[in-house]
A and B are shown apart, each in its own frame.
Chain A
């Protein structure tokens, strides 16, 4: 098979959730000397197709999960073959995301992180039950253009409000957009927290970021 055919097949197999075939083909290509960085680029192309299929309602959470696994497996094989200092494609604007304090839920946040990542954003995911100070510290360090506050429980509404008030009080709000999402968040909760926008799902988060700043 010609490299171009291999490339197309790999992209198709990942996008079509053919895990065993895709991982085997990637292994074979690398063994035959296919440039690892290029191969990872193809994986990213496949992820974009997966993302589009998620956007259009063809794919759902299980497919995103499996796509992530495939990317992980292929990455594990490819990365040791990459020359140090070769560098990878520069990432776009930085989005900082975390689940607010008191809330241990992460599924929604993880999907948003995943979708932002495959849409080219530089996602800094700082985990669950994140104290206000931790958000502030990370904002200072990473200087994100968008901050995403996630929360599933109703207690998260006040944690979001508190986090946003602190961001303002620290003088960090200017030039930054804040989006919230998860659980029962709606228009009323948006006003309550003082965020710039809310989203009902991961695609909303991507679209908000795209409107605010292209990746």
Chain B
């Protein structure tokens, strides 16, 4: 099925289309009615598959991935899209640093068409809580990064700088002549150059698409403090057991993360000249933790991060994974018209009722329809979502997890085309 490219044939200039699209999204965030149902192309390997690339090619071939992003965006004409390089093309860099926290296509026994997957492990032991709380930077440098990538192991040998002063500063330099540390520095330069090539390649595509009238849907990524403690530090089992065994330490860690996490998201968003900061959430869903645990460990620290960013003018795009229907009343406590909540399996009708005057809602298209349904079923679903959830504005069309890698091309085309017909 060939997409119609309605916008390209609308007579509007690319600059006008860019302004139209930015305004459409902003209106939805501010809980107003845009001219029509806004869309966001949030996808990983669907984009590269649409151009016939394997997942592995998407992770390794910057040029072909760039062409695939341009083709998908030009064909679908979304109101915003996720930059493909930033979410896919880090294969070569992972190889250079011998990264240990992911398995990815063609690595660790995975096939070329499998997505990359995070390995849930304990990266900070229970005995290391105090060390992290005392000096998170030192912990990350000396303990964490050597566990995250084999090439970073010599970082454990680097000086403990808060205690290195005056003449100890020149004395401390000897470690940089150590053969392993030399190798580390060389790898950092080589991997840094590789990442720079990737980012330049990605930036070229972003500039090209901006000139064609397409803004970005995501400018940086951040995390909920509990998810960071669970996914990236203690491991899911460790964090869950800490709720009972080390509650005070876990709460202190979450406090520290509230202060520490926004810095990189802010710097990245500023570099990408945008306001959308994505929060993929993993552990707050119904069934995983109790309402009381959610209101102790999950929501308060996350809310502080979100409100802090909102106060600075950023727009959090919070992806509530799984079913979070029982959390809706609690998570309504956020400044109105300042954020987007993307839902995977939560009851969107309830979400609209409870959150409709607080936060822009995104999602709703079942991934099973996109993968196994027909274009006609997809069209009907878009119209239903427009009527039910889009009523009054404050809604962005998307599927529960963005466009799944396996979605049928004709269904995705139908989804974006139908959205353009849904006018307020």
Distance of A192 Cα from B373 Cα, bound (Å): 10
Greatest chain A CB density within 10 A among B110, B344, B368, B401 is at: B368
Instruction: Note all chain A residues with C-beta closer than 8 A to B111.
Output: 102
| Given A104-B103, A189-B368; A62-B117 close (CB under 8 Å) | no
- By CB atoms of chain A within 10 A, which of B245, B290, B345, B369 has the most? B290
Residues of B within 8 A of A105 (CB): 117
Pick out which of these stretches binds chain B: A90-98, A150-158, A162-170, A207-215.
Answer: A150-158
Question: Does chain A have a CB within 8 A of B287?
Answer: yes
Q: Is the CB of B241 within 8 A of A66?
A: yes
In chain B, positions 269-289 with a C-beta closer than 8 Å to chain A are 287-289
Assess whether A65 is in contact with B240, with CB atoms less than 8 Å apart: yes
A4 CB, nearest partner CB in chain B, Å: 28
B347 at the A interface (CB under 8 A): no
Please tell me if B93 contacts chain A, counting CB pairs below 8 Å. Answer: no
Residues of A within 8 A of B109 (CB): 129
Q: Mark B217-260, 1 if CB is under 8 A from A, else 0.
A: 00000000000000000001100110111000000000000000
Assess whether B117 is in contact with A155, with CB atoms less than 8 Å apart: no
B77 within 8 A of A: no
A103 to B368, CA, bound (A): 17
Q: Is the CB of B244 within 8 A of A184?
A: no
B91 at the binding interface (Cβ < 8 Å)? no
Pair A155/B405 contact, Cβ less than 8 Å: yes
Binary per-residue interface labels of chain B (381-412) against chain A in the complex, 1 for a CB within 8 Å, 0 otherwise: 00000000000000000001100111000000
Chain B residues lying within 8 Å of A129, measured Cβ to Cβ, are 109-110
Contact of B114 among A17, A66, A155 (CB under 8 A): A155
CB distance from A127 to the nearest CB of B (A): 13
Q: Is B367 located at the chain interface by the 8 A CB criterion? A: yes
Q: Which residue of A lies closest to B345 (CB)?
A: A184
Known: A104-B117, A184-B366, A188-B373. A155 touches B240 (CB 8 A): no
Size bin of chain A's contact surface: 20 to 34
A154's contact among B110, B287, B367, B369, by CB below 8 Å, is which? B367
| Separation of A69 and B245 alpha carbons in the complex (Å) | 11
Contact at B243–A62, with CB atoms within 8 Å? yes
Q: Interface digits, B328-351 against A, CB 8 Å rule (1 contact, 0 not)? A: 000000000000000011000000
Beyond A60-B287, A60-B289, A188-B368, whether A155 also contacts B401 by CB under 8 A is: no
A192: chain B residues within 8 A (beta carbon): 368, 371-372
Report A137 CB to chain B, min CB distance, Å.
Answer: 18
Q: Which residues of A contact B323 (CB under 8 A)?
A: 200
Contact A104 B372 (CB under 8 A): no
B244 near A66: Cβ-Cβ < 8 Å: yes
Cα of A127 to Cα of B273 in the assembled complex, Å: 44
Residues of B within 8 A of A184 (CB): 344-345, 366-368, 400-401, 404
Q: Which of B103, B111, B114, B120 has the most CB of A within 10 A?
A: B114
List residues of chain B with CB within 8 A of the CB of A103. 117
Is residue B115 contacting chain A, with contact meaning CB distance below 8 A? yes
Contact with A along B108-122 (1 / 0, CB 8 A): 011101110101100
Would you call A125 an interface residue if the criterion is a C-beta within 8 Å of the partner chain's C-beta atoms? no
Q: Chain B nearest CB: distance from A182 CB in Å?
A: 11
Q: Are B369 and A188 in contact (CB under 8 A)?
A: yes
Instruction: Take A102-B110, A192-B372 as given contacts and tell me if A60 and B288 are in contact as well, using a CB distance cutoff of 8 Å.
Output: yes
Q: When chains A and B are docked, how far (Å) is the Cα of A122 from the Cα of B110?
A: 30
Residue in B103, B115, B117, B289 whose CB lies within 8 Å of A61: B289
What is the minimal beta-carbon distance from A18 to any residue of chain B, in angstroms? 10
Contact B406 A154 (CB under 8 A): yes
Q: Quick check: is A107 within 8 A (CB to CB) of the other chain?
A: yes
Does any Cβ of A come within 8 Å of B196's Cβ? no
User: B293 near A: Cβ within 8 Å?
Assistant: yes
The docked-state distance in angstroms from the alpha carbon of A134 to that of B323 is 32
Point out the residues of chain B lying under 8 angstroms from A201, CB to CB: 287
Inter-chain contacts of A61 with B (CB < 8 A): 240, 287-289
Contact B366 A188, beta carbon cutoff 8 Å: yes
Interface residues in chain B, defined as those with a beta carbon under 8 Å from any beta carbon in chain A: 103, 109-111, 113-115, 117, 119-120, 236-237, 240-241, 243-245, 287-290, 293, 323, 344-345, 366-369, 371-373, 400-401, 404-406
User: Can you name 23 A-B pairs with beta carbons within 8 Å?
Assistant: A17-B244, A19-B245, A58-B290, A60-B288, A61-B288, A62-B244, A102-B110, A102-B111, A129-B109, A129-B110, A155-B114, A157-B368, A157-B406, A158-B406, A184-B367, A184-B368, A184-B400, A184-B401, A186-B368, A188-B368, A189-B371, A192-B368, A192-B371
Known interface pairs A61-B289, A62-B244, A155-B113; 16 further A-B residue pairs with C-beta atoms within 8 A, sorted by A's residue number: A58-B290, A60-B293, A61-B287, A62-B240, A62-B289, A66-B244, A69-B241, A102-B110, A103-B117, A129-B110, A153-B117, A154-B371, A154-B401, A154-B404, A157-B371, A192-B371
Closest 5 CB pairs of A and B: A188-B368, A154-B404, A62-B240, A65-B240, A102-B114
Interface residue ranges, A against B (CB under 8 Å): 17, 19, 58-62, 65-66, 69, 102-105, 107, 129, 153-155, 157-158, 184, 186-189, 191-192, 200-201
